[in-house]
Amino acid sequence: MSSGSAIQQLAGREAFRSFAERYIVHEADRWDSEEAIPQSIIQQMGAEGYLGAVISKEFGGLELDMKSLGALSEEMGRACSSVRSLLTVHGMASIAVERFGTAEQRQKWLPLLASGQTIGAFGLSEAGAGTDTKAITTTATITEEGYVLEGGKKWITFGQIADLFLIFAKLDGEPTAFLVPRTTPGLSIDHLKGIFGTTASMIAELRMENCLIPHEAILGSKGLGVPYIAMSCLDYGRYTIAWGCVGILQACLDACLSYTSKRETFGTLLKNQQLIQKMITEMTVNTKAARLLCEDAGRLKDEGDSQGLLATWAAKYFASISATKAANEAVQIHGANGCSRDYPVQRYLRDAKVMEIIEGTTQMHELVISSDAYSLSDF
């Protein structure tokens, strides 16, 4: 990642916000109802370079520093968590190719991923394997013609439209990563509908039956899948989701400041009620605190500091539970209107809850963060 100047970072944030205001904010509720985002917005994001946010400039990407990537994730997350999810999973596939791919794989895929001509997705979760990544049952068998994949993947974000899947399968019992194009014979894709939150993230279930991919489709080497590739991707995902949660928090705060300044009850504006002021205070402080934790994680990542990994767990933990709390209170503040699709706060609540589950549940974060605390202690 390159390190941008403060002025570049500020200009980047303003551009991201302007794009989100112009093309996303006013459409997000409709996309949520339709359970899809249109191809046109993906093309526009590609044209802006956002789909190549983390890809090196030599392959046509923006090569953003972590603070700028955070700003992009926050602004997209403020507008629409499903759009932010696209940037997250596409970025996860992209960093895997750039970090672990051969020169040929990088040359083949990264320019396409950077421009958005190819949309990437991350295929780790299965019906029986989520946080417990070692439980994956999809297998890869080496043959003279290539690798044969057998098994299934579930909850694959933007799997409905992705062109390239990063699939994790056990090769001789060891988790290994493979690049699987959508057009591969033996790969079938079912659309999953009725998802509770990030409803427009076009989630799919993949089935691989006698799915033959060439030998050069392996990413890295046997056994590298989960310990390094998946963990690197999930760290990236966790970081962008944490920032997306800051976006949800900001959206909740903005919505509540506006609503309580107009809505009257018992002869006065809601904002004059002390119990409302308490909720606004907590929302304000939690938004700032979550943003500071994300900035801390981003700074450490830009410095290449290994502490950035734990800082990212902490940021995502706090930001996601704070987003759920803020969205819950935003619905409460809006009353019956908050339960209506005429207001976005119900979407924020559904989206925020999903953030507590993906890229490690809240409980998994508690295990990791507390374990690290004990390892640093003398007890």
- For residue 323, the minimal CB distance to another protein (Å) is 24
Using the minimum distance from each CB to another protein, give the nearer residue, 161 or 224: 224
Bridge partners for 152 per DSSP: 207
Contact by Cβ (8 Å): 82, 37: yes
The answer to whether 359 is a known catalytic residue is yes
In angstroms, how far apart are the furthest CA atoms of the chain? 79
Residue 343's nearest CA partner among 332, 352, 354 is 332
Using the minimum distance from each CB to another protein, give the nearer residue, 66 or 352: 66
Using the minimum distance from each CB to another protein, give the nearer residue, 20 or 169: 169
Using the minimum distance from each CB to another protein, give the nearer residue, 106 or 154: 106
Residue in 35, 126, 205, 359 annotated catalytic: 359
Rounded Cα distance, 127 and 135, in Å: 10
- For residue 177, the minimal CB distance to another protein (Å) is 10
- For residue 69, the minimal CB distance to another protein (Å) is 17
Question: With the C-alpha atoms ordered 127, 195, 131, 379, is the resulting torsion angle positive or negative?
Answer: negative
Residue with tokens 């295929």: 123
DSSP labels, 58-108: GGT-----HHHHHHHHHHHHHH-HHHHHHHHHHHHHHHHHHHH--HHHHHH
Contact by Cβ (8 Å): 336, 319: no
- For residue 224, the minimal CB distance to another protein (Å) is 6
- For residue 304, the minimal CB distance to another protein (Å) is 4
- Tokens standing for 190? 């079912």
Residue with tokens 């932010």: 84
- Tokens standing for 292? 């500071």
Q: Which residues bind another protein (CB under 8 A)?
A: 99-100, 220-221, 223-224, 226-228, 231-232, 235, 303-306, 308-310, 368, 375-376, 378
Using the minimum distance from each CB to another protein, give the nearer residue, 78 or 301: 301
Catalytic amino acids?
A: 359
